[in-house]
Amino acid sequence: MLPPPARLAARRLLGLASSSASEAAARRLASSPIAASSYAAAARGSVPSSRPFSTALNYHIDSPENKPGMKWEFSEANMKKVKEILSHYPSNYKQSGIIPLLDLAQQQHGGWVPVAAMDAIAKIVEVAPIRVYEVATFYTMFNRTKVGKYHLLVCGTTPCMIRGSREIEDTLLEHLGVKRNEVTSDGLFSVGEMECMGCCVNAPMIAVADYSKGSEGYTYNYYEDLTPKRVVEIVEMLRRGETPPRGTQHPERKNCGPAGGNTTLHGEPKPPPCRDLDAC
């Protein structure tokens, strides 16, 4: 049995080889000592072959569509946004704009950020490329592999798990015919996991990052109080180009209020008996 860190590396390597890397990349992985032990462990059945991770891998392997040296630049419209973003920071602190620039690049590039885009941002803010890489690999909302035009993120934190988020995720994966972090054959959908979305009272929930209209029409919406039936209906509405109503999907709730309406606080709160607490 491999120690925990080696098992974690094994799962990541196997997931990469099965879902993201080309055959050539898989052969390169297999030639390393860690990968060799990973595949051996998988053959013994001690490492699952699926990839149970909420984030992309924190390292890069070249592929025909994602490698250094490829030409990448912001569109003319987005260059205006780049200038506007940088105007918020002193000229000697351009690197403070790395996060919003990565976000803009991701919107322009269909939901993910290739290495070439990171290199372009490094030139703009005048830092070494590693300074951009370390930001892009730290924040899980930056995708470094392809995602669907509609990237569906299932909240995986405890309140949502208690309320059935795993069933929501299983329903999505089965309905779309993909594994986590895979893209459907038509390029429309991908499913990932995200930790706490901050709306636990309306669990379970998903977020939908809509890259179908590029950076100009980019939206990011929450869909809450979900059931397996309702999440499939939302997917099919998106497939038809419709806009599902965001927020709670419970027919009897308004925002975060209780089903059926408030049972308390129907009137104005009464003032304290005296304003001077010391005199009370």
Q: E-strand spans in the chain?
A: 150-155, 189-194, 205-210, 219-224, 247-248
In angstroms, the CA 130 to CA 122 distance is 8
Task: Note the pLDDT of residue 30.
Answer: 46
For residue 98, the model assigns a pLDDT of 97
pLDDT of residue 279: 64
In the prediction, which pLDDT does 215 show?
A: 80
**Mean pLDDT, residues 136-165:** 92
How far CA 255 is from CA of 223, 248, 266, in Å, comes to 11, 6, 17
Task: Report how far apart, in Å, the C-alpha atoms of 272 and of each of 101, 269, 275, 276, 278 are.
Answer: 51, 9, 6, 9, 13
CA terminus-to-terminus distance, the chain: 69
If you average pLDDT over every residue of the chain, what do you get? 82
Between 267 and 124, the higher pLDDT residue: 124
**pLDDT one-digit tens code per residue, 80-138:** 999 999 999 998 999 999 999 999 999 999 999 999 999 999 999 999 999 999 999 99
CB 123 within 8 A of CB 73: no
Contact criterion met (CB below 8 Å) for 244 and 231: no
**Taking 80 as the threshold, does the pLDDT of residue 51 lie above it?**
no
Residues 188/174, Cβ–Cβ less than 8 Å: no
CB 157 within 8 A of CB 196: yes
CA distance 260 to 269: 21
Q: Please give the Cα distance from 119 to 179 (Å, whole number).
A: 30
Q: What tokens does 12 get?
A: 């990541």
Q: What does the pLDDT read at residue 43? A: 44
Q: Percent of the chain at pLDDT above 70?
A: 77
Whole-number pLDDT of residue 3: 56
What's at 122, amino acid-wise? A
Say if residue 153's pLDDT is above 60: yes
Report pLDDT for 49: 37
Q: Are 75 and 105 in contact (CB under 8 A)?
A: no
Contact of 117 with 107, CB cutoff 8 Å: no
| Residue 39 clears pLDDT 90, i.e. is over it | no
Q: Which two tokens stand for residue 57?
A: 């891998």
Contacts of 21 (CB under 8 A, 6+ apart): 29, 61, 63
Least confident of 30-44, 98-112, 215-229, 262-276: 30-44
Polymer length in residues for the chain: 280
Query: Looking at the domain 76-138, which fold is it?
Result: Arc Repressor Mutant, subunit A (1.10.10)
Indicate whether 246 pLDDT > 50. Answer: yes
> 150-155 and 189-194: which strand pairing?
parallel
CA atoms of 109 and 74, how far apart (whole Å): 9
For residue range 165-201, list pLDDT tens digits in order. 999 999 999 999 999 989 999 999 999 998 899 999 9
Return all residues near 174 (Cβ < 8 A) that are at least 6 apart: none
257 vs 43 pLDDT, higher one: 257
Look at 9-18, 154-163, 189-198 and tell me which has the smallest mean pLDDT.
9-18
Question: Per CATH, the architecture of 150-248 is what?
Answer: 3-Layer(aba) Sandwich (3.40)
Q: Is the dihedral of CA 248, 254, 259, 265 positive or negative?
A: positive
* Domain spans of the chain, in order of start: 76-138, 150-248
> What local confidence, expressed as pLDDT, does residue 163 receive?
94
How far apart CA 179 and CA 65 sit, in angstroms, is 21
> Does the pLDDT at position 209 exceed 90?
yes
Classified as helix, coil or strand, 164 is coil
Specify the pLDDT at position 275: 67
- The pLDDT value recorded for residue 141 is 87
